Amino acid sequence: MTNAEPLPNPDQHDAAPARGSSLGKRIAEWFWRGAALAETARAFPELSPRAAQLAERARSTADIADMVCGGADSARGTPHSGEPVLPLAEASASELYWQSAYWALRALAADSSEAADASGAVATSYSESLWDSLDERLLVRAASKPERLEALRASIRRGSFLYFAELSPSERLVLCPELRKLAELLLAKFDERTRAMNRVLLQRASRVGLVLLLVLLLLVGVRFLRQYREDRSDLVEGKPWVTSSNFDGSGCHSPSQTCPENTGYFFHTQEEQSPWVEFDLGAAQRIATIQVDNRRGAFGERAVPLVAEVSTDHKHWKQVARRDSEFVTWREPVAPVSARWLRLRAVNRTFLHLSRVRIFP
């Protein structure tokens, strides 16, 4: 290498594959959402064991409150199942919903604001200042009406069974569902991770499902197109046919191979030696494949052995295929031959009945 020659740049060779690789990764990520799942997991970390314990305590307390007031209807002041609400039921339920909200706040703050002592235990004394961490927006949503906001805020600061019991019945009736709503809103935060992960997983499922649906539609389309082209190329479609005999007038009328009278076959010969069905293509045609569908349902063995013969003058016949074993559908490629007539003939004494015959060039 001379001084005038530039040094090779390895990036020039790697740039195109890198771009292709990057595009491939982006496409894979759009479908699989792996990075999005990881980002969601980081944005919504799992609860620590301590926080999970407190969250479970919050849920259990809310469940007990529901039972105290007979479920959601009683918490709104409506007697459950027509029974009268127990005295001070709203006071008891209010305290329990208040406790549920407190434990939920404690769980949400467990990893950041609670420190373990030397033995590993975490302080569990009541702290009124914890209510300072309550999101004001949740309080607004829990209040039954805007003018109730201050009363609700004051109630959570003073909460106790004695406090709730001393409230007037009408105040307890309004406050109980508000505290229930607040507890529900806080408990819902523990499900945010699951909901966020499920949203990404739903995206994955829908996008992968869309691809599978498109592939399925493509396969169906290809199969339909192939079938359409094959049907268009069928040389005996609409061409007249005759049989060596007819059993009791059953079957279709030439040139049709489908008809209401077709109960498994389009023609049915008498029992005779070497019965046959013959097709007139109208002019010499190139024949390369023969497909025969046997009678449906029963007596398929009657059609074997079966030979396929062709002729150009309707006098001299040439065998081009033979089937010696029972079949449902016999599709046989043959050495390409030009012929006007095609005959299918059973070589034994038997009945002959077939459900469809097709010839392809």
Q: What is the pLDDT of residues 100-130, one digit of tens each?
A: 999 999 998 875 544 443 333 445 678 888 9
160 phi/psi in degrees, rounded to 5? -175, 165
Give me the pLDDT at residue 15, please: 46
Q: What is the mean pLDDT of residues 55-76?
A: 77
CATH of 241-360, one of 3.50.50.60, 3.40.50.620, 3.30.920.30, 2.60.120.260: 2.60.120.260
The CA-atom distances, in angstroms, between 294 and each of 228, 288, 303 are: 22, 20, 7
Q: What is the enclosing helix (H) or strand (E) of 289?
A: strand 276-294
Question: Which is higher by pLDDT, 106 or 8?
Answer: 106
Q: Is the pTM of this model over 0.75?
A: no
Q: How confident is the model at residue 72 (pLDDT cuts 50, 70, 90)?
A: very low
The per-residue b/e assignment along 19-40, b for 16 or more CB within 10 angstroms, e otherwise, is eeeeeeeeeeeeeebeebbeeb
Q: What phi-psi label fits residue 242: left (phi over 0), alpha (psi between -120 and 50 degrees) or beta?
A: beta
Structure confidence at residue 87 (pLDDT): 59
Contact in structure between 63 and 103 (CB atoms under 8 Å): no
User: Residues of the chain with pLDDT > 90: what percent?
Assistant: 58
* 294-328 pLDDT, tens digit each: 998 889 999 999 999 999 999 999 999 999 999 99
Residue 80: band (very low, low, confident or very high) from pLDDT cuts 50, 70, 90? very low
**Three-class secondary structure of residue 349 per DSSP:** strand
- Residue 233's pLDDT is what? 87
pLDDT at 29 over 50: yes
Judge whether 282 and 345 are in contact, CB under 8 Å: no
Residue ranges of the chain that CATH labels 2.60.120.260: 241-360
Q: Residue 249 — pLDDT band, cuts 50, 70, 90?
A: confident
Q: How many CB atoms lie within 10 A of CB 8?
A: 9
- Bond from prior residue into 361 cis (ω within 30 degrees of 0): no
In tens, the pLDDT along 191-235 reads 988 888 999 999 889 988 988 999 999 999 998 888 777 778 899
In the predicted structure, residue 82 carries a pLDDT above the cut 80? no
Range list of H helices, the chain: 10-32, 34-43, 49-68, 72-75, 89-113, 136-142, 149-158, 161-166, 169-188, 192-233
Query: Do residues 193 and 44 lie in contact, with contact meaning Cβ atoms separated by under 8 Å?
Result: yes
